[in-house]
Structure 1
């Protein structure tokens, strides 16, 4: 399996090796896609395209459309470990749909805008991790009792018990609800890991969404490389 190695993840612009980038604990419902993006400039200096910004509307023409079946499958995925994906703890994709319907889904930076556009239209939550803020090795598993992290600049925390998360060497750092503040993108970000939280009840949707996502990133000059997940 050819992927970017943990060593390559830790060092910008190194070539890929034949090693795993993420490990995955067994899960009966998760169908995940992941890839690494290298941007041509720090995000604070990179201009997104008008086409990308236009996709932040729920009325935009897109190759995917979310529906109740997608929403239900994603909630079932998150519910499997014991997490309750409702209220303020609902999947991030549902927040995006509501924001777009209300006309309040605004551009942030090229990396987040591409993520939000794909998540909005596919209905799949997506995590974006700044690879220079995360510490390998990286893995995906259900968070145990007592797990928490800060998810915004004001210091608010989310209780992660029972929720599928990406973990790095310092603990959980991303999930389908809210990503950790410590590994979020910022003006100096040049490399990210995107994780698309798909379900086996939606076969092929995560892979198809990832392919479209990469096309959007290529349109702003970013380079992507697959990051398959190994058990």
Structure 2
């Protein structure tokens, strides 16, 4: 289902989740929303070393992870700090909680909106996609991305609008964009992530079947 091109730094964890009901019927419980607030206690904590290692991972193919192109995990730190990190749905909130505290960017793709087969590779010149409902695009050249049969659809910066979760989502493919510079961090983040998802009633399959 998923192939991964050889990469000297990437420590990827990929798994699928099946939720007991459509996400529109699964609001995030209070205990999950609390993890998104400033001062929340979590098993993992990010720091400058984590941020630097993640940026090194994204730079490897020539991409510049700065400004509006910085890793999604860095946006979460800012949003949590100023109180603007609001609840979306159980799947996205769990993703945001783990990404916020681990410092690792995470992509969540709706498996019923994406098209197998899947591949992780570095995007080339001309690769781009729309990442929000207003039609804004991101230039993907040099950036590690998830590709489906229709092209690139997710990465550590911004996921494609066409494969994002919505209220009808029941099945997701999740990628933790970890780096070998942070030994064991991807595995530890996944272990906690799995606990959160199973507490929400989801069934997790790892590795990707």
Structure 1 residues 25 and 67, CA gap change in structure 2 (3 angstroms): same
Pair 1:145-2:120 in alignment: no
Pair 1:191-2:171 in alignment: yes
User: 1:78 maps to what in 2?
Assistant: 58
More deviation, 63-72/50-59: 50-59
Aligned mates of 2:137, 2:65 — CA distance in 1: 16
Cα displacement (A) at 1:171: 0.2
Deviating above 2 A after TM superposition, structure 1's stretches of 4 or more consecutive aligned residues are none
Alpha carbons 1:34, 1:195 under 8 Å: kept: yes
Which residue of the other structure, out of 41, 47, 58, is the alignment partner of 2:27? Answer: 47
Alpha carbons 2:116, 2:148 under 8 Å: kept: yes
Partner-residue secondary structure (3-state), 1:115? helix
- What are structure 2's unaligned runs of at least 5 residues? none
Q: How does 1:35-184 map onto structure 2 within 5 Å?
A: 35-184=15-164
Cα displacement (A) at 1:58: 3.4
Q: How large is the Cα RMSD of the aligned pairs?
A: 1.0
Once the two structures are superposed, residues 135-193 of structure 1 have per-residue CA deviations (whole angstroms, 9 ceiling, x without a partner) of: 11100000000100000000000000000000000000000000000000000000001
Once the two structures are superposed, residues 45-74 of structure 1 have per-residue CA deviations (whole angstroms, 9 ceiling, x without a partner) of: 112211100000231000000000000000
Alpha carbons 2:16, 2:208 under 8 Å: kept: no
Aligned mates of 1:196, 1:180 — CA distance in 2: 16
Cα displacement (A) at 1:219: 1.1
Aligned mates of 1:48, 1:85 — CA distance in 2: 30
User: 1:224 maps to what in 2?
Assistant: 204
Cα displacement (A) at 1:228: 4.8
Aligned mates of 1:107, 1:30 — CA distance in 2: 29
Alpha carbons 1:126, 1:176 under 8 Å: kept: yes
Cα displacement (A) at 1:207: 1.1
Partner-residue secondary structure (3-state), 1:140? strand
Once the two structures are superposed, residues 96-146 of structure 1 have per-residue CA deviations (whole angstroms, 9 ceiling, x without a partner) of: 000001111000000000000000000000000000011111000000001
Aligned mates of 2:72, 2:24 — CA distance in 1: 24
Alpha carbons 1:38, 1:192 under 8 Å: kept: yes
**How many residues align structurally?**
209
Q: Calculate the TM-score normalised by the size of structure 2.
A: 0.98
Structure 1 residues 228 and 192, CA gap change in structure 2 (3 angstroms): closer
Cα displacement (A) at 1:227: 2.6
Partner-residue secondary structure (3-state), 2:196? helix
